Every structure is written in structure tokens, then in C-alpha cells.
Amino acid sequence: MPNSERITSAQMSIELNARLDRIEKNMDRMSDAIVTLARAEEKILTLTAFSKQQSEEIKLISKRMDSLEDCVRSNSQTITVINKFFWLVMAATTAAIAAMYFN
């Protein structure tokens, strides 16, 4: 009986070692998966922060464009007045030259 108990004990030891190896492999895979998840989470956080930064930049550019549109509108009105004044002066000058020429 002691001989058969040794075989059984040896077989149990082999089976136990095999089982522990499988558990260790599973733990290694889980560890790799956790590291991968942590990296993915870090990437997501980085992309979220980048997205917020881009959103703020877009808001700033939009405000600057609105300001620029107001400035262009104001300049357009000024140019329209200057243009009308120029043609008024040109018409008056032409009328004065014509009056001198025909008198």
C-alpha cells in the first residue's frame, strides 16, 4: 500500500502543479488584460481632455469671427459713405468744370 500511496501522491502532486500552472497562466492573462484596460482608460481620458480643449478653441474662434463680422459690417458702412461722398465730390467738380467751360 505505501507504494500505491506514493504513486497517488505523485500523481496528485503532478495534477496540483498542472492546476497551479493553469491558474498562474490565467492570472498572467488577467494581469495583461488589466494593464490593457488601464492603457485604454488613459487614452480615453487624454482624448476627452483634448476634445474639451478643442471645444474651447472652437468657441474662442467663433467669438473672434463674430467680432470680425461686426468690424467688417462697420467698415462696409464707412466705405459706403466714403464712396457716396467721393462720387458727390466728383459730380460737383464735373458740374463746376462744365459750368466754367460753357460760360
- Enter the pTM of the model: 0.55
- Per residue in 6-54, pLDDT (tens digit) is 668 888 889 999 999 999 999 999 999 999 999 999 999 999 999 999 9
Q: Using CA atoms, how far apart are residues 50 and 43, in angstroms rounded to an integer? A: 10
Place of cell 468744370: 97
**How confident is the model over 76-88, as a mean pLDDT?**
96
Tell me the C-alpha distance between 58 and 87, whole Å: 42
